[in-house]
Amino acid sequence: VFQGRILAQRLVGQETRYEVEVKTPYRHRFPLVSREYVWVPNICGCPRLQEGGEYLLMARRHVNYERTLNRILLQDNGYARPWTPREDRLVREAAQHC
């Protein structure tokens, strides 16, 4: 779970790749750097993320069977909400209990 700002969007094959500036990592099981690519396995724009917008994203790491592909994946039904101070407060409160 992290707060990020969408810098760019690009369609690659049948997937969408977002370049994201990681602002605040809240909870992560793998290391994040200041800029990451977040992949969505479709080109329909679901979830809809706008360039320049800030979002609270819950993504997972995807490693293929051969271990040759390691990326951050935001699934169609993944959590992607516009970031607000309220979202920040809710995530920080939840982190204390989890």
- pLDDT above 90 (res 61): no
pLDDT at residue 84 tops 70 = yes
pLDDT the model gives residue 4: 94
Higher-confidence residue: 79 or 97? 79
Please say if the pLDDT value at position 36 is more than 70: yes
Find, among 69, 74, 71, 64, the residue nearest to 41 by Cα: 74
Spatial separation of the C-alpha atoms in residues 16 and 11, rounded to whole Å:
5
Q: Quote the pLDDT of residue 67.
A: 67
Where does the pLDDT of residue 13 fall: very low under 50, low under 70, confident under 90, or very high at 90 and above? Answer: very high
- Percentage of residues of the chain with pLDDT beyond 70: 92
Per CATH, domain 2-96 is 2.40.50.120: yes
3-class DSSP string for 44-72: CCCCCCCCCCEEEEECEEEECCCCCCEEE
For the chain, what is the mean pLDDT?
A: 85
pTM: 0.82
